Every structure is written in structure tokens, then in C-alpha cells.
Structure 1
């Protein structure tokens, strides 16, 4: 029963798991041995277990510890975890206007959604994770070479919306793109799921390419076929870059689809507001990570491209 925190870590690019592990390293830093409080924290605050009862999780811990953990002690263990979280993050929660008195363990059954663990759960995923999710994603994202490719479009039928490639399409394996040339982004992770694709420009501006009515309305990934951006039913016909510098792409693969409030498929492609829909400001970035905080085990990948004036 004496493993370390690092020994129970899951996949290193599972976004939600890594977030919880970072929290665990702070509140259990003085006692790195695996204990029931740590197990309780990782299970109770995992989005995968949000709707599961304390008893269900207690049974799971009981099995984990070969029936040496009394099921009826889960409530007390969770109360100790909440106490640690409150001590560590009290100032941050006050700034977020969390009513700390609601974290006190009182008698009786609290109203639905108002149990101390539920208050902290909402704060962790809707406030803290939404603030830290972008930087954490960039930190843990796994570099991909073959799975995310820019394909140069050698010719295009200007009188149709459909993207057409020459047989001699050129795949950018050197991670270098040229200003003014037309590209399509080929995503092929050979797994099922749903894609969130964000782009950060050399200036630090952020864009959401998928989901997007401009580039990629369909987010579903397939085992058999790559997902290509722009898609045939999107407004845009190609990707073009107008400035020299680095373009960073972050791909997040989720188990479930999710919607974003600003995406409206009814907008006309000639509407100036439509083009602004791919721009990601701080509010939209927070919304994206609030949505991701409702899911579990989302994998994170990245690819960088250098945009140049001319190919050498």
C-alpha cells in the first residue's frame, strides 16, 4: 500500500488526469506515499465519476486496497481531503467568490449540488481548470509528426466550394510553410473520438479551426479516414498564412462531442461576424476549457510550423 503519486499517474497527455495530479502533488506534498485520501481525491474529483455516489467510489477504493478500507469511512476521508483543499486554495477560492462556509462539514444531508465536495468540484473544473487549461495543455501535449500534416494544394477549382488536390500533392514533412500558398490540414490519429483544433499565431492570437463553420463543422474522427481541414462543407476552401513566424496547433481528442456558444451554422459566409467566429478571446478560451472540464481522459497533441516568405 506504499506507492508514490508518480506510480499511479495515468497517460501523461490525458489532460484532466494531469490536472488532478498537479493538484494532488500540492495537497499531498508532505506525504507522497499513496494513501486512501489521495485515492479518494483522484476518484471523487474525476469528471468520469461526477454522477457516481460516494458509496460506489468507496467500494472501488475497498477493492483497490484489498478490502482493507472500510466502506463507511469514505465520508470522513473525503472530509479530510476537502480540508486540505480548503487550506491550500483558500485565497484563490475567495477571489473566485466561493462561499467557504459551505465547505464546512455539517450534520444532515445538504441540498443537491451543495455538498462540500460538489462546491469544490465546480470550482476546480469551471474556474481553476478554465484558467489554467491552455497553458497546461501546451505543457503536456505530445508532439506529432505523421498524424498532423499540412498538404499543399497545387491547384484548386475556384468556381466550386470543394477542395481539389492534384495527384502530386506535397506533404509538408519539414514543418515549413510558405506565405501565400494554399494548404489543407490532414489529421489522422487512427482512432475514434472528437477533435478540438486550436491555432496560436506568431503574435499570440488564438483561433478555433475545429469546430468551426469556417473550416470544420464536423469534429468526428474516424479509424479509417483522415479528417481534412477545410472540410468540403465548410465556407473556406484552403488555409493560407500571411505572416512570417511560428504557427502552433493544439489538437485535443475527446470521447464526447461538445458545442460552443458562439458557433452558429445559420450565419452567412458573407457576414463579417462569421469570420470573427474563429477568433478566441479570453472568455471563449475559458468556455472551451469549461467544456473540456466536463469530459475525462482527453488526449492532447501539438504540431508547430514555421511560415517563411520563400522555401529554401
Structure 2
């Protein structure tokens, strides 16, 4: 997918979340799509207004600032909390800023393309990898620590998602029916994205022995695996003929469980694409639930 096509799809994705189907929203949606397109970054608002007039057949160019203000209001309503987490806060900005680079729409533009877009792309890559993955149930399972005296989760009913107990110490068992010998295991929770293997925390050695692996390994920093948040936990295993030589995949104590971010997943995706015949993927998800007696 070309970057320009990807950018357009991203803008449509954001616009669909903000603007309901109505005549007024049609005008605001077009304003958003034009004003926040990288192609129009250098253009003044009056030029955006002229383009809107051409596309709509009739648009009062004098109302562009008011229209843009409504667009920003809806953008903040939908994504304001997420923006605040990224350090974006423009509530105290009034009037025309001395520095035009700090105008509200430019602040929103910066957030969209510097923060939101890379993570939207990352989610797309993650979903693409899942589609390429096999999902047999046996390849990944968790067993409670036999010495654990707390509450234990009963097995899930047939056809229900597999479950993991909250704050219960587990061992993780991987069993992969594949010819490749090196394991890369990624985990995605509600707000977390970890490399489980290889990692100093759980699996310093990523070589599969007899197509199986038990984690945490001997020599890992952690002695058990616990989940401290209710919700979905996803696991994606990529098995390769050779280990990947990315620096962030070298087990170390400074980053015991590496976080995979947009840059790292894109780097991984590029490498996998270059060697598309020498890897396989496996996927499974679990629901972390409150434990039962």
C-alpha cells in the first residue's frame, strides 16, 4: 500500500468516527479531509475554503474558520482524552497565536500524524499478521503454579474463549508443529505490547527444543507469569529459521520485556516481507477474568 493511499484511508477512518451522516456534517467532514491532508499542509484556510466551494458547488468562504472550529470541537470530543495522554492540551489557547505553528488546527494536525497515525498503522500490521497465522488451540496454554493456594479459575465451557485467572502465577507452555527453530512471541493486552520471547524477563533463549518451550525459563528474571488486568490478552508467535538480529530483541536487564512500538513492528514486518517463505505465525487470545473459588 502506498503511503498516500494509507494516509487517505487513515483520514477516512478518523472522519467516520467523528461525523454522522447529515448535510452539515458533510461540509464539516470535507473540511476535515482537506485541512488535515498532508498535501494541503502549506495551504492557508482561504485556499481550503476555495477547494470546498469547488467540491460542494456552494460554500461561503467567509465561514471557513467557524467550520474549522466545529471540526476541531468534534475532534476533541472524540479523542480529547487520548490527546491529553499524548501531552496535547490546547484548552487555554484563545485568539490568534503569535506563532502560527501553534494554531489549534496545526496542534491537532501534529497529534494526528505524529501520534495517532503510526499506531493506526501498527494495528493494521498486527491484524495482517493475525490473518496470516494459524490458530490451533493446543499451541499455547497456561498452567497454574501447583504451590499456589489462592483462587483457581475453572476451565472455560466449550466454544468459549480460553480464560486466565487474575493475579494467579502461571507457567506458559508453547508447542509448535513447525520446521523453524527460533521463536518470537509477542503479547498485546489492553494497554501493553510486550515481547515475551526473546526477553530477559521470561525467555532469554529463543531456540525451540523438540518444538516446545516452557516459560519463564531457567535464568529468566521472572519466576512466574501473572496478569494484573481483566480483559483480552493476545499472543502472536512467529517462528523463523534464523534469529532476528534487531538490537531490541537482544535480552537485557535495562528492558527486561521489550515493548513493541510502531517503529519496531514496521521493522519486523519489513524483514518478514524480505524473507516471506522462511517463517510461520500462530495466534491465540485469552480472557483474563476474576478468579473463582
TM-score by length of 1: 0.48
Verify the 8 A CA contact 1:149 1:172 in the aligned structure 2: no
- Structure with the larger RCO, 1 or 2 (CA within 8 Å, 6+ apart): 1
- Alignment RMSD, CA only? 3.3
Matched, 1:226 2:202: no
Q: Tell me if 1:296 matches 2:288.
A: no
Distance (Å, rounded) in 2 between the aligned partners of 1:280 and 1:213: 15
Number of residues of Structure 1 aligned to a counterpart in Structure 2: 172
Q: 2:213 and 2:236 mapped to 1: Cα distance? A: 15
| Shift, 1:243, TM fit | 0.6
1:1-312 counterparts in 2 under 5 A?
89=2, 91=4, 133-155=125-147, 175-193=162-180, 194-203=182-191, 205-222=192-209, 224=210, 226-265=212-251, 267-268=252-253, 273-275=254-256, 277-297=257-277, 298-311=279-292
Residues of 1 paired with 2:287 and 2:4: CA distance?
41
C-alpha distance 237-133 of structure 1, shift in aligned 2 (>3 A): same
| CA radius of gyration, larger in | 2
CA distance in 1, matches of 2:229, 2:6: 41
Give ranges in structure 1 of 5+ residues lacking alignment.
Answer: 1-22, 24-88, 96-128, 157-169
- 1:208–1:278 CA contact under 8 A, matched in 2: yes
Whether the aligned pair in 1 keeps the contact of 2:142 and 2:171 (CA below 8 Å) is yes
CA 257–310 in structure 1, closer or farther in 2 if over 3 Å, else same: same
How many Å separate the matches in 1 of 2:5 and 2:219?
44
- Secondary structure of 2:137's counterpart equals coil
Provide, for residues 56-110 of structure 1, a one-character-per-residue CA deviation record: whole Å limited to 9, x for no partner: xxxxxxxxxxxxxxxxxxxxxxxxxxxxxxxxx4945999xxxxxxxxxxxxxxx
Distance 2:205 2:169 in 1: 21
Structure 1 stretches (4+) deviating beyond 4 angstroms? 89-95, 129-132, 170-174
TM, length-normalised to structure 2 = 0.51
SS in 1 for 2:229: coil
Residues 178 and 211, structure 2, Cα contact 8 Å, conserved in 1? no
Looking at secondary structure, tell me which structure has more helix per residue: 2
**Does structure 2 retain, via aligned residues, the 8 Å contact 1:213–1:263?**
no
